[in-house]
Amino acid sequence: MDHFLYRDGILHAEDVPLPEIAASVGTPAYVYSAATLLRHYRLFDEALDWGPHLVCYAVKAASNVALLKLLGDEGAGMDVVSEGEYRRARAAGVPGDRIVFSGVGKTPGEMRHVLEGGIRQINLESEPEYRMLSEIASNMGIEVPVTVRVNPDVDAKTHEKIATGKSENKFGIPIAKARNVYAELATLPGLRVVGIDVHIGSQLTDLDPFRLAYRKVADLTETLRADGHTIDRLDLGGGLGIPYERSNLAPPVPLEYGQVVRDEVGHLGCEIEIEPGRLIAGNAGVLLASVIFVKEGEGRDFLILDAAMNDLIRPAMYGAHHDIVPLRETAAGAEMHPYDVVGPVCESGDTFTKARLLPPLAPSDVVAFRSAGAYGAVMASEYNSRPLVPEVLVRGENWSVIRPRPSYDEMIARESVPAWLDG
């Protein structure tokens, strides 16, 4: 459930009519609902309340500092994958002991930065990585809590570009090698093994792959404990999917996911960490876009919007579906029209969807791409020199721009012409 609903025929974000934001901020623009973000975070928190746990929001999904502050103040931990994300979480007031650092290619500089700033744990993904971390941490005279991300070779049954738990993926250490890896880790200075980490992919709409992976993690926990290791913490990753098409069957909800976790690893007495991103932020954000032209093509009409693939890349990159709705509610029984919905960017891949049935639309009408809160603004670029899309946060009847649209001058002023080119 989200807080983007029609009231008196106008789409609102909580208590704010979206046309008001579109008129004031301009389009394209992302708009987030604070109540929706918090609701989704709390659903996970409650789904794990049968034992000690920490919900570490995957910052990569939507990383605006205002969103992180909202979640952090509610008690959320954060899962970060770069120094930039770590700095954002800290800027939002999240203490280091609630931040976990994941990722397949952490640099020595990033490792040093989080060790200096404080970190709950580092999730390790390869032999060269843990040897490097051991050297850095021991030189700094500290011992850092670590887990090893294991690759359970489980098919997450999701889009191939966002599946991460098969042996052909670059992520984690093959689970069959885990005993040897933990044995070596135990001998290395500067590292304190606290648990196991796993993440098998994103936008999972079936609980079985989670079940399979978590069962393997439970078996491994027992094996490693028998080998004498301390396994007190299980980081079970993120990945629970959201209903992108409202007309389709809804994926499992956090409560059901929490039950799977309890069934598979609940008996081990470990503290549970999870790293959901999409389910917290996805349906908490929309992308507003205005119609520029309706262009008659051959056998089709193009709805040309002022949002493009640089603002929301998911359709171009993954063939992803986003529901598109007009801000003015469509009357029941209204005649629908098929549109190819496209942006102004100069490539054919800049197509959001083809033959989508929408009510007849005209220039300057505003539409909302739903479920755009996760992997939307964070993946935006300035391709075609289109200024970075702004972000707005709504809470109740209040709203604020939380990242302004840069002016053209600001965009261009970041660049400089070397003196030796100038004359």
Binding piece for ligand LLP, criterion CB under 6 A, among 105-113, 211-219, 275-283, 404-412? 275-283
Binding piece for ligand LLP, criterion CB under 6 A, among 38-46, 232-240, 296-304, 390-398? 232-240
Let me know if 346 is a catalytic residue. yes
Of 275 and 350, nearer to ligand LLP (C-beta) is 275
* Shortest separation between residue 318's beta carbon and ligand LLP, angstroms: 6
Q: Binder to ligand LLP among 14, 125, 129, 275 (CB under 6 A)?
A: 275
* Active-site option among 226, 331, 332, 346: 346
375 in a labelled binding site: yes
3-state SS, the chain, equals CCCEEEECCEEEECCEEHHHHHHHHCCCEEEEEHHHHHHHHHHHHHHCCCCCEEEEEEHHHCCCHHHHHHHHHCCCEEEECCHHHHHHHHHCCCCHHHEEECCCCCCHHHHHHHHHHCCCEEEECCHHHHHHHHHHHHHCCCCEEEEEEEECCCCCCCCHHHECCCCCCCCCEEHHHHHHHHHHHCCCCCEEEEEEECCCECCECCCHHHHHHHHHHHHHHHHHHHCCCCCCEEECCCCECCCCCCCCCCCCCHHHHHHHHHHHHHHHCCEEEECCCHHHHHHHEEEEEEEEEEEECCCCEEEEECCCCCCCCHHHHHCCCCCEEECECCCCCCCCEEEEEECCCCCCCCEEEEEEEECCCCCCCEEEECCCCCCCHHHCCCHHHCCCCCEEEEECCEEEEEECCCCHHHHHHCCCCCHHHCC
145 in a labelled binding site: no
Q: Binder to ligand LLP among 25, 58, 185, 341 (CB under 6 A)?
A: 58
The answer to whether 238 contacts ligand LLP (rule: CB under 6 A) is: yes
Of 277 and 291, nearer to ligand LLP (C-beta) is 277
The answer to whether 61 contacts ligand LLP (rule: CB under 6 A) is: yes
The answer to whether 77 contacts ligand LLP (rule: CB under 6 A) is: no
* Shortest separation between residue 148's beta carbon and ligand LLP, angstroms: 13
Q: Scanning residues 162 to 201, which ones bind ligand LLP (CB under 6 A)?
A: 162, 199
The answer to whether 235 contacts ligand LLP (rule: CB under 6 A) is: no
Q: Scanning residues 108 to 147, which ones bind ligand LLP (CB under 6 A)?
A: none
83 in a labelled binding site: no
Residue list for the binding site for pyridoxal 5'-phosphate: 239, 275-278, 375
Residue numbers at the binding site for ligand LLP (CB under 6 A):
58, 61, 79, 102, 162, 199, 202-203, 237-239, 275-279, 314, 318, 374-375
Q: What positions carry a catalytic annotation? A: 346
